[in-house]
Amino acid sequence: MRKITYAEAIREALRQEMRRDENIFLIGEDLGIYGGAFGVTRGLINEFGEERVRDTPISELAIVGASLGAAITGMRPVAEIMFMDFITLAMEQIVNQAAKMKYMFGGKAKVPMVIRTPAGSGTGAAAQHSQSLEAWFTHVPGLKVVMPSTPYDAKGLLISSIRDDNPVIFIEHKLLYKTTGEVPEEEYEIPLGVADIKRKGEDLTIIATSIMVQRAISASKELEKEGISVEIVDPRTLKPYDKKTIIESIKRTGKVIIVHEACKTGGFGAEIAAIISESESFDYLDAPIRRLGGLDIPIPYNRNLEKNAVPQIEDIIKAAKELIGK
């Protein structure tokens, strides 16, 4: 199978969906000729024109508000917020309007909109352009939250998100855009709410999201050299989330580490830990649940400090050895 980048997989999903349904359009800052801050939408304006690839003023509130209005009147907008940090400027529209309309209108209103947004550190973009805020949105009833970690998942999950009749927050890690993987040329959907086991193992389960999936895979290869067999579970969607796959994995291995980039305090890892402690898998644990998250600090500009602010491969290896007792 051919290999393409994470960014190309997202672009291909957008192109195929826009060809399929003329009600789908893109909206955001610099999406058109510039192709988006990270080049994801490059070239789409040449095929679909300015009506369907709409550049906007610098106003996240306007981007989301216009998308919401379009969605409830029959369109299927895919909005881009250039950096996840700036999604804070549109929180009222997302949390108080988009998330609640279906419920407030007794199910008669549909809000089929996707908000794509790059998140995470690693680019030297400092405190206001490097945050991981996914846990905020999992707390809001009515929103779906997606965090793909591979090009294959990015394409399939984005297609499913676009076809969903509910508002979806689609979070793309900046460092993943250039990663490559096998992706079919044809359209395909990955159902929201279905986790994926990225690597089978027997001694330890690592539950990781987004960029941390790739780091966990790298760590597991090093741990394998020392006789430690690691199973890696990628939730892929945080809301809805797949409890069954997580529980069954822990019942097999008896040990678990939860890894995410967002600040540890209040991070989604705490929700996963609660799921485990409230399920039958808790009785199978041979060691305490271990969480690895970002430090509770703004992301530093200095590259060395930035790296130390979030979990790295060596941190995962260290935590695994400690849990195993090696």
129 part of the active site: yes
- Please name the residues in contact with 32: beta carbons below 8 A apart, sequence gap of 6 or more: 41, 45, 50, 53, 54, 55
CA distance 214 to 28: 29
CA distance 148 to 157: 7
Among 129, 139, 173, 260, the active-site one is: 129
Q: How many CB atoms lie within 10 A of CB 135?
A: 20
CA distance 263 to 15: 34
Helix (H) or strand (E) holding 273: helix 268-277
Cα 61 from chain centroid? 21
Asked whether the beta carbons of 299 and 309 are under 8 A apart, the reply is yes
Catalytic annotation, residues: 129
